[in-house]
Structure 1
């Protein structure tokens, strides 16, 4: 699946979008939450987690379908100064799995890591999470199997003028897409108000 066929807009999340990210995590079903966090977590945990993500220096990409965040990828550098290693985590809502969103978000995450000088990217998932393991293998990651966990390790190439330009272009397209969605949503709200039964009366 190529990025042009993605069912939505993939872009970076902004610091002011904590609530949007939180609502996405709250929509994850029990099994998807377990796959994302490695254990069962409740709403209180997610509220606290979402509140601190944007203060941690993480780079978050999301896929917005009809203006709603349905999938996210988180990149956590291990150091604030010239990090060479980072951890990545992914979450895709149940109704939007098997559409290639994980692969597309992985591609954006690897590009972001590369352009920040991060050479080694780690991902951990439950041993039964075959989907995540398949995505990691697409990027030539080395998988280490433990009792109930799998750790994927992949190497990112060094940044280049081309990779920096690709990220800048993706960011510009994401902003343009977000503005278009906002304008479309505002237009729909106005149209609904005009066509509502109260106005018709």
Structure 2
């Protein structure tokens, strides 16, 4: 993962070809209900690709209930209707012995995108945000495990230059990350700030529309 000039990071926050920008925000406890709604909307095939199994609704609820936002990091993309249409989950593994004095830190990444938001680069942007967060947190390796048939994940992995190993219908992909730089730290901070502003605007717009509907003329 090479350093991008800051101008390229900023350019990534603008939409392309007339599309709205894909802004990635770190999620927290208050977003749990919308994350659950996102996962429950995935069909059986999408759940298989995301979780490696066709989870039932109850299993999905149990998975979301166990997400520890204080330990793991969850990123999300909100659409104009204030719905979560993309979720990236970073889970951190215990440090592994790397030598006499240092230890390697590894994070595993999983991603899902709602059908309505596909083809817009949401998955790629979630991965990029996860990768830069790992780098800035001194994570040595970003790891993804998925089915080999998951074309979207395979495309993201190849595009990022990950080392991919396929075996028994599954694929393991690894990306070794360089240490943080002033540019990478500033880029992530700017992206989160822009995403927070966008989140606030969408939340206020939704609240205003609900108020208009509530106080509007009754038939």
Same fold (TM over 0.5): yes
Q: Using the alignment, how far apart are the partners of 2:197 and 2:71 within structure 1?
A: 24
How far residue 157 of structure 1 moved from its aligned partner, in angstroms, is 1.5
1:16 aligned residue (30, 34, 37): 30
Q: Determine the structure 1 residue equivalent to 2:112.
A: 91
Q: Using the alignment, how far apart are the partners of 2:27 and 2:69 within structure 1?
A: 13
Describe how 1:123-162 pairs up with structure 2 within 5 A: 123-162=144-183
| Contact preservation (8 Å) 1:38, 1:125 | yes
* Matched residue count: 198
Q: Determine the structure 2 residue equivalent to 1:79.
A: 94
| Contact preservation (8 Å) 2:13, 2:23 | no
Q: Is residue 68 of structure 2 the alignment partner of residue 62 of structure 1? A: no
Q: Determine the structure 1 residue equivalent to 2:43.
A: 29
Is the partner of 1:84 in helix, strand or coil?
Answer: strand
| Contact preservation (8 Å) 2:50, 2:110 | yes
Is the partner of 1:79 in helix, strand or coil?
Answer: strand
Runs of 4+ in structure 1 deviating by more than 6 angstroms, as ranges, are 80-83
TM-score (norm: length of structure 2): 0.84
Is the partner of 1:112 in helix, strand or coil?
Answer: helix
Is the partner of 2:71 in helix, strand or coil?
Answer: coil
How far residue 193 of structure 1 moved from its aligned partner, in angstroms, is 3.1
| Contact preservation (8 Å) 1:29, 1:93 | no
Q: Determine the structure 2 residue equivalent to 1:191.
A: 212
Q: Using the alignment, how far apart are the partners of 1:16 and 1:178 within structure 2?
A: 13
Is the partner of 1:124 in helix, strand or coil?
Answer: strand
| Contact preservation (8 Å) 1:64, 1:71 | yes
Q: Using the alignment, how far apart are the partners of 1:97 and 1:73 within structure 2?
A: 14
| Contact preservation (8 Å) 1:36, 1:90 | yes
Evaluate the alpha carbon distance shift between residue 2 and residue 64 of structure 1 in structure 2; reply closer, same or farther with a 3 A threshold: same
Evaluate the alpha carbon distance shift between residue 83 and residue 183 of structure 1 in structure 2; reply closer, same or farther with a 3 A threshold: farther
Is the partner of 1:157 in helix, strand or coil?
Answer: coil
Q: Determine the structure 2 residue equivalent to 1:180.
A: 201
Unaligned runs of 5+ residues in structure 2 are 1-10, 97-102
What is the root-mean-square deviation in Å for CA atoms of aligned residues? 2.1
The answer to which of 117-126 and 155-164 deviates more is 155-164
